[in-house]
Amino acid sequence: MKPIIVGNWKANKNFEIFNKISSKFTNIEICIALPYIYIPHTKNYNQEFISIAAQDCSKFPPGSYTGEVPASFLKDNQVKYVIIGHSERRKEFKENSYDFSAKINRALAAGLKVIYCIGENSEERDNQTYLKVLYDQFLTVVGEGIEIDIAYEPVWAIGTGIIPKIEEITEVVEKIKRWSKIINVKGRILYGGSVCYETMGPLQKIPGVDGFLIGKSSLKEEFIDICEAFNASYND
């Protein structure tokens, strides 16, 4: 599995990014997670070098679930990845571990790859309960023996410009690796939270970090520079 950069557009769009990524970065995979409604629109652009992700999927199968988008419909529309468990889904939509495990099961059964997000808030970091919180978010949702990418996104680092200390990220990445090993889970570990061209250097050197989940900077031209620099870091 190649390292990966995932741009999470959230409820925004900038299709210029598709035009600008006009060649393959051979060492890494590049993925863009865009709003459902614009997924078919990507066919108008050079899609050859970019994997498509959805930002969510339904926990239900196709049927009488007004407003929902089932995982199998995403698969039918060239979607490769789905992000599940983003902290904005936890906070703004009150989704919980039950929702996330149901969604992950649906997504995997439909043949999608899952990027599952975990992350503590600032209070949990300050009162030292963050490892327990992360362990619960991981263990109540991630099933034994599955293949899944885990994105560690401290809530206090998302969209704030605050980057955790390297030791803080390293500690969590090591834990995720250990927890994954115990239940025979395979996949990449991504870091997310205020990643930009200026901040990515030290982050990409952290052992066990196989990529980034990027919000704000994925909507800017800077995203191309990030991809180029990340790709170059895997040369030789």
Active site residues: 86, 153
Residue 172, phi then psi, degrees to nearest 5: -70, -40
Listed in sequence order, the residues at least 6 apart from 96 whose beta carbon sits closer than 8 Å to its beta carbon are 90
Q: How many CB atoms lie within 10 A of CB 84?
A: 29
Tell me the closest approach of the beta carbon of residue 159 to ligand PGA, in angstroms: 4
By CB under 6 A, tell whether 7 contacts ligand PGA: no
By CB under 6 A, tell whether 214 contacts ligand PGA: yes
With H, G, I as helix, E, B as strand and everything else as coil, classify residue 137.
helix
With H, G, I as helix, E, B as strand and everything else as coil, classify residue 88.
helix
Contact 4, 29 (CB under 8 A): yes
Strand partners, 211: 4
Contact 100, 94 (CB under 8 A): no
Tell me the closest approach of the beta carbon of residue 195 to ligand PGA, in angstroms: 5
Tell me the closest approach of the beta carbon of residue 214 to ligand PGA, in angstroms: 5
Tell me the closest approach of the beta carbon of residue 217 to ligand PGA, in angstroms: 6
Tell me the closest approach of the beta carbon of residue 194 to ligand PGA, in angstroms: 4
By CB under 6 A, tell whether 195 contacts ligand PGA: yes
Contact 65, 97 (CB under 8 A): no
- Whichever of 32 and 72 has its CB closer to ligand PGA, that residue is 32
Site for ligand PGA in 139-158 (CB under 6 A): 153, 158
By CB under 6 A, tell whether 54 contacts ligand PGA: no
By CB under 6 A, tell whether 115 contacts ligand PGA: no
List of E strands, the chain: 4-8, 29-33, 51-54, 81-84, 113-118, 149-152, 189-192, 211-214
Query: From the list 3, 4, 5, 8, which residue makes contact with ligand PGA (rule: CB under 6 A)?
Result: 8
By CB under 6 A, tell whether 119 contacts ligand PGA: no
Residues 158-187 vs ligand PGA: string with x where CB under 6 A?
xx----------------------------
By CB under 6 A, tell whether 103 contacts ligand PGA: no
Among 49-57, 65-73, 191-199, 227-235, the segment contacting ligand PGA (CB under 6 A): 191-199
By CB under 6 A, tell whether 85 contacts ligand PGA: no
87 to each of 66, 116, 190, 221, 236, how far by Cα in Å?
24, 10, 15, 25, 36
Would you tell me which residues interact with ligand PGA (CB under 6 A)? 8, 153, 158-159, 192-195, 213-217
